[in-house]
Amino acid sequence: CRPPGRPRLSQVRLSSTGAAAQRAPGGEEADSKVGTRKKTFPEVQAERLEQAQRTVLINCPAKISEKKFLKYLSHHGKINSHYFYESYGTYAVVEFSEKDSIASLQDVTRTPGVEEECAVPFKSRLFTLTLKNPSTQAADQAPVHCHKQSTILVSDLVQKLCSADSVSNQLYTLMDEYQLTEENTKLRFLVCSLIQEIACAYFPECTVKPFGSSVNTFGKLGCDLDMFLDLDEIGRSPTRAKTGPFYMEYQMKRVPSQRIASQRILSVIGDCIDNFGPGCVGVQKILNARCPLVRFSHQPTGFQCDLTTNNRVAMRSSELLYIYGSLDSRVRALVFSVRCWARVHGITSTIPGPWITNFSLTMMALFFLQKRTPPIIPTLDQLKDLADAEDKHVVEGHDCTFASNLNKIKPTENTETLDVLLSDFFEYFGNFAFKKNSINIRKGKEQNKPEPSPLYIQNPFEQALNISKNVNQSQLDRFVALARECAWILQQEDKDNSSLSNSQPWGLAALLLPSVASNCVKGKKRKRVQASERIKSLLDSLKINNANSLVNNGGK
């Protein structure tokens, strides 16, 4: 699904009407527009959630006649699209054009036999298809074509990057390799919709929506699936009886706080997922976290899932990032590369701890792009100024208002290449006054740190909070040392163009080599050795001076 030729930056700038000409994040370009207008985040979400409800997931034999498979399923209705992928077996994702087709398919589907283990009779849209006569039916079949669901190895990526013709194109190559595919995005919405069916047993009007990197345009193949159990629509009374002398209200259980309500809801939904959710394994209820959650693995897709509720601010953060990622193709390319670089060097980790998170790194990259002259993306306050009445969002007293309509945002005049931006990103953060200043994407300006955390990135919506409070000094120091080393490598290459022609990894590829981190440590040691040598020679010269003065003073 690569577009014919990557648009050059000048084209990107000129061809856009607010949103840069680029593939829609996690979707096809045609899919992301309503006429000439770019779809908003809620529109994309609603469309994909509806699509997911017409979709089924089928575990099937790897060797199967695709034609016969589709013919068999099409007895239940028209099929809009389908694809296969591999994960603990072969799976088919089949999207029907009507929701009724699913009921028709479920009508002819049997429950498993009870020979060995007893099955919990929960009927979902996850099926197993077997051959009646495996020996004859599979004998002359080639395995079906499977779509990739994971990224290539870093070593293969480095090789690929070396054959690009500029650092800019290296960044775009990395993004093409790493970003979520259309199929993977569909699968993420499908898993949300399968979990929604479980939660619906308790709350029939609930929805489960993806947030975070699955939908914010910065998702990498293999990233976790953050899910939001949305119960707010239930509270919205559609029609209040305007006539008559009475009000009618539901009697509901009352609890002392919203947090306790979230914990109780997630606790029962977690149990349901654990006991009845087909394919859901390793369910953990992490209810005492700042944001209570249920974590589990969805085995048929391989997704690591985090289910939260009452997390509307995170949903707004996802939309804000979606807007930034859709404005200019350089934003995503830079963020993908910086995230990959950080992961390779262990600056970020999949385990929680004192390291910088992907979310914090993304904020840093956005802040850097706001600081360019002219800025590449607007500040959050500028997006708020463009908001109209329906964009107004206040969540638990926090102002989360900004314009949703991408077409309202004027394209940037900035034409800098990613070669320059990548190098300057490292230089900028290699020399940032972290001790004194905080990063604030609402204002697009450094501000004095309100408290002494080593890294202070103001939460754009809950403004009294620091999103990188977890980061300790030594992790920040590692980031700074690596950023300096990388800025130095890129600047040296710039001076010495010959590196482009030799066989050594160059540009972004050179920054991903493990030797960068070890050079950093060596550089530190080198500096330490140099410093101790300087002190030694200073002491030596003092001794000599002292001795001389003693001699000059005649030993008095």
The yes or no reply on residue 173 touching Mg ion (CB under 5 A) is no
| Residue closer to ligand GTP (CB basis): 171 or 467 | 467
How far does Cα 538 stand from its chain's mean position? 52
Q: How far is CA 488 from CA 129, 334, 342, 428, in A?
A: 56, 18, 17, 12
262 φ, ψ (degrees, to nearest 5): -60, -45
Q: Hey, is 448 helix, strand or coil?
A: strand
* DSSP annotation string for 271-321: HHHHHH-TTEEEEEEETTSSS-EEEEEETTTTEEEEEEES-HHHHHHHHHH
Rounded to whole angstroms, the Cα distance separating 40 from 24 reads 11
As separate numbers, helices (DSSP H) first and strands (DSSP E) second, the chain gives: 18, 16
By beta-carbon proximity to ligand GTP, the closer residue of 215 and 520 is 215
Q: In the window 194-253, what residues touch Mg ion (CB under 5 A)?
A: 212-213, 224, 226
By CB under 6 A, which span of 93-101, 218-226, 389-397, 511-519 interacts with ligand GTP?
218-226
Helix, coil or strand: residue 7 = coil
> Which is nearer to ligand GTP, 32 or 358 (by Cβ)?
358
Q: List Cα–Cα distances, 192 to 52, 197, 199, 298, in angstroms.
A: 8, 9, 10, 11
Q: Decide if residue 212 touches ligand GTP (CB under 6 A).
A: yes
| H or E stretch at 111 | none
Please report which helix (H) or strand (E) contains residue 220, including its range. Answer: none
Q: Which does 263 bind (CB under 5 to 8 A by kind): Mg ion, ligand GTP, none?
A: none
Q: Which is nearer to Mg ion, 365 or 511 (CB)?
A: 365
DSSP states along 33-97 = EETTEEPPHHHHHHHHHHHHHTEEEEEE-SB--HHHHHHHHGGGS-EEEEEEEESSSEEEEEEES
Q: Which is nearer to ligand GTP, 6 or 259 (CB)?
A: 259
Tell whether omega for the bond before 374 is within 30 degrees of 0, i.e. cis.
Answer: yes
Structural tokens at position 149: 């669901």
Residue 196 binds which one of Mg ion, ligand GTP, none, with CB within 5 to 8 A depending on kind?
none
Of positions 317, 329, 401, 475, contacts ligand GTP by CB under 6 A: 317
d(CA 286, CA 436): 35
Q: How far apart are CA 460 and CA 320, in angstroms?
A: 10
Contact residues for 300 (Cβ-Cβ < 8 A; gap 6+): 57, 59, 87, 88, 89, 91, 126, 279
Phi, psi of 187 (to 5 degrees): -65, -35
Binding ligand GTP by CB under 6 A: which of 91, 228, 359, 368?
359
Q: Choose the contact partner of 359 out of Mg ion, ligand GTP, none; CB within 5 to 8 A by kind.
A: ligand GTP
Binding status of residue 308 toward Mg ion by CB under 5 A:
no
132 vs 290, beta carbon nearer ligand GTP: 290
Is the CB of 167 or the CB of 321 nearer to Mg ion?
A: 321
Residue 45: name its binding partner from Mg ion, ligand GTP, none (Cβ under 5 to 8 Å by kind): none
69 binds, options ligand GTP, Mg ion, none, Cβ within 5 to 8 A by partner type: none
Residue type, 217: T
**In whole angstroms, how close is the CB of 430 to ligand GTP at the nearest point?**
23
Residue 226 is a binding residue for ligand GTP (CB under 6 A) = yes
Interface with ligand GTP includes 439 (CB under 6 A)?
A: no
Residue 225 C-beta: closest distance to Mg ion, Å: 7
365 binds ligand GTP (CB under 6 A): no
Contact 112, 121 (CB under 8 A): no
Of the candidates 40, 90, 170, 358, which one interacts with ligand GTP according to CB under 6 A?
Answer: 358
Asked if residue 191 binds ligand GTP (CB under 6 A), the reply is no
Query: Of 69-77, 87-95, 149-157, 209-217, which part binds ligand GTP (CB under 6 A)?
Result: 209-217
The correct pick among 173, 196, 213, 329 for binding ligand GTP (CB under 6 A) is 213
Nearer to ligand GTP, 158 or 180 (CB): 180
314 is a site residue for ligand GTP (CB under 6 A): yes
| Tokens describing residue 35 | 């006429």
Q: Footprint of Mg ion on this chain (CB under 5 A)?
A: 212-213, 224, 226
Q: Footprint of ligand GTP on this chain (CB under 6 A)?
A: 212-213, 216, 223-224, 226, 314, 317-318, 357-359, 459, 467
